[in-house]
Structure formats: C-alpha cells, structure tokens
C-alpha cells in the first residue's frame, strides 16, 4: 500500500512536469516565437486544449501530499514558503492571461495578458527550479541560496525546450519553423521530467518514512482507484482529440 501511494504521488508529479511543462515553455517563449499577434494567437490556440488537463496534475499532487503524506505536507510547503507564494502568484497570472486575453477587444488588452502569460510561465519555471534544488538540499538552508538560481535556469531551459518541441509537433513548420515528431516530444517530456524524477528517487526512502497510516491509505485506495480508468481515459481522450492529426483549429480559439 505504501509503495502504491508513493507510486501515485511520483506519477502525478512526473506527469505534471511532462504534461504541463510544455505549456509553461510555450508561455515563456510567447513573445520570442510570437512576433505578431497572429503568431501569438496561433501558439495559444495550440496549447489551449491541454492546459486544463495539464495543470490539474499539480492540484492532484498537492491533494495526495496532504492525504498520503500529511506528516511532511506542512514541512515541505512551509519550508519553501517564498517559492510556493511565487509559484502560486505566477500560476494565477499565467492562467488569468489565458482566460482573459480574448475576452475584450483591442490589441493593448490582448498584449497585456500575453505578457502576463509570459511572466507567469517564467515565474513558474524559475520557482520550480529553485524549489527542486531547495528540496534536494533537504530544506535545511535558506530557501534561496547560491545553487537555486542555477537550478532555476536549468529548469527554465528544459521547459523552454519542451515548449519549443511541442509547438514544432503541434504546428509543424509554423512559428518555430521546425517539425518534430511525437517521439521528439516524448524525449523533451522526459528531459523536462528528469530533474524531478531524480529528486523523487533520492527522496523515496524519506517519503516512505512519512506515509499516512494504513487505515487512511486504504480509504484513499477504495475511494480513488475506481476512478483511475476514467481519469486516464479522459487524459488520453484530450490527446486523441487535439493532436496534430486532426484538422487545424479555428484561430484564435476560446483562449
């Protein structure tokens, strides 16, 4: 049971980096690859159907952290206080940018929210990079030390690569000028998820030491595992519905 819930936690966190990482990367690259408003609309349209299904993995990570690792939930989030605040504010800005950019007319309105998407995505990447380094250091030192900025830049570069590969796969030969296969996207997903996977492997014994008691885990298993096929099915459905094999979306879409 302990191994099962450690596995669920790891899967959700790795899934977040793989599936939301390209949205963060594409958001960071929005002003770089999207020189014109039309290009930016095209980028947002490409990522839009994946955002809701991608970011929800982190919501689930936080839920499982609370449910299956209650002894360390507070320790981890409190230990990373400034980074978690930065992450949440960035996430909020990025999402607000996506939801609001096409809700009113005028180029100034849309440009403003496009910058919010870019700033929010950069903030997400940087806070993740710093958080992973801080977690690897065991939360002992100050939340932001010397190694954290380096981690932030590495994570930002990996997300940017993942976002660039996604756009080259979803919009071949368009905003990036390149074409990438689904295999390349899988490769960049592995790259984006590699740092957190290593960290999880290192922290696994510590996580196993702080699992909720068997009674709580049994309740979680009974209440959640029956929904697992629907959750997986819905995620697969998103990818089947909005992959590049389908007819191009009207541009711009709702976002």
Partner 1 sequence: MDVLDLARTQFAVTGSLHFLFVVLTLGLAPLIAITHTRYAVTGRPVHERATRFWGQIYVINYALGILTGLVMEFQFGLNWSGLSHYAGDVFGAPLAIETLGAFFLESTFLGLWIFGWHRLPKWLHLACIWAVTLTAYASALWIMAANSFLQNPAGAVERDGHLVLTDFGALLTNPTLTMALPHVLGAGLWTGGFVVLGASAYQLFRRTPERELFTSSLRTGVITSFVGSLITVGFGYAQFGAISGVQPDKFDGGVLPGLGLGFMIMIGQLLQFVIMFALTPAVYWLPRWRWAHPLLMAMTPLPFIAAILGWLARESGRQPWLINGRLTVADAMSPGLTSGMVTVSLIAFGGVLGLLALVDYLLIARTVRRGPAAATLGAGAPADPNERAHALSY
Which of 82/198 has CB closer to partner 1? Answer: 82
Q: Is 108 an interacting residue with respect to partner 1 (CB under 8 A)? A: no
CB 165 within 8 A of CB 180: yes
The residue count for the chain: 255
Q: Which residues ranging from 24 to 43 are in contact with partner 1 (CB under 8 A)?
A: none
Q: Is 1 an interacting residue with respect to partner 1 (CB under 8 A)? A: no
Which of 21/49 has CB closer to partner 1? Answer: 49
Cα 171 to Cα 243: distance, rounded to the nearest angstrom = 10
Q: Which of 3, 227, 239, 244 binds partner 1 (CB under 8 A)?
A: 227
CB 30 within 8 A of CB 118: yes
Q: Which residues ranging from 140 to 179 are in contact with partner 1 (CB under 8 A)?
A: none
Q: Is the dihedral of CA 59, 64, 66, 67 positive or negative?
A: positive
Cα 171 to Cα 182: distance, rounded to the nearest angstrom = 12
x-marked contacts with partner 1 along 55-84 as a string, rule CB under 8 A: xxx-xx-xxxxxxx-xx-xxxxxx--xx-x
Which of 203/238 has CB closer to partner 1? Answer: 238
Cα 173 to Cα 44: distance, rounded to the nearest angstrom = 16
Query: Which of 35, 34, 56 minimizes the C-alpha distance to 44?
Result: 34
Which of 48/178 has CB closer to partner 1? Answer: 48
Q: Is 239 an interacting residue with respect to partner 1 (CB under 8 A)? A: no
CB 151 within 8 A of CB 133: yes
Q: Is 107 an interacting residue with respect to partner 1 (CB under 8 A)? A: no
CB of 32 to partner 1, least distance (A): 25
Q: Is 4 an interacting residue with respect to partner 1 (CB under 8 A)? A: no
CB of 243 to partner 1, least distance (A): 12
CB 221 within 8 A of CB 1: yes
DSSP state, residue 145: -
Q: Is 22 an interacting residue with respect to partner 1 (CB under 8 A)? A: no
* Cβ-based neighbours of 144, under 8 Å, separated by 6 or more: 82, 83, 130, 134
From first CA to last CA, the distance across the chain in angstroms is: 41
Residue numbers at the binding site for partner 1 (CB under 8 A): 48-53, 55-57, 59-60, 62-68, 70-71, 73-78, 81-82, 84-85, 88-89, 91-93, 95-96, 99-100, 102-104, 212-213, 215-216, 219-220, 223-224, 227, 230-231, 234-235, 237-238, 241-242, 246-250, 253-254
């Amino acid at each position: 049971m302990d191994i099962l819930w450690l596995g669920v936690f790891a899967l959700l966190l790795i899934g977040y980096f793989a599936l939301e990482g390209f949205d963060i990367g594409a958001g960071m690259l929005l002003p770089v690859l999207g020189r014109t408003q039309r290009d930016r609309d095209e980028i947002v349209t490409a990522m839009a159907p994946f955002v809701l299904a991608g970011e929800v993995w982190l919501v689930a990570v936080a839920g499982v952290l609370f449910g299956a690792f209650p002894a360390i939930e507070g320790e981890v989030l409190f230990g990373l206080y400034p980074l978690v605040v930065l992450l949440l504010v960035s996430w909020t800005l990025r999402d607000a940018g996506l939801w609001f950019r096409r809700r009113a007319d005028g180029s100034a309105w849309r440009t403003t929210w496009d910058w919010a998407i870019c700033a929010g995505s950069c903030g997400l990447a940087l806070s993740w990079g710093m958080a992973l380094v801080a977690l690897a250091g065991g939360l002992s030192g100050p939340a932001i030390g010397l190694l954290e900025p380096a981690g932030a830049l590495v994570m930002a570069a990996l997300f940017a690569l993942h976002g660039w590969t996604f756009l080259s796969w979803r919009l071949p030969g368009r905003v990036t000028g390149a074409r990438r296969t689904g295999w390349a996207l899988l490769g960049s997903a592995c790259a984006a998820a590699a740092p957190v996977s290593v960290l999880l492997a290192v922290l696994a014994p510590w996580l196993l030491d702080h699992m909720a008691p068997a009674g709580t885990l049994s309740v979680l298993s009974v209440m959640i595992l029956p929904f697992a096929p629907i959750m997986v099915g819905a995620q697969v459905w998103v990818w089947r519905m909005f992959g590049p094999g389908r007819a191009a979306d009207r541009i711009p879409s709702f976002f």
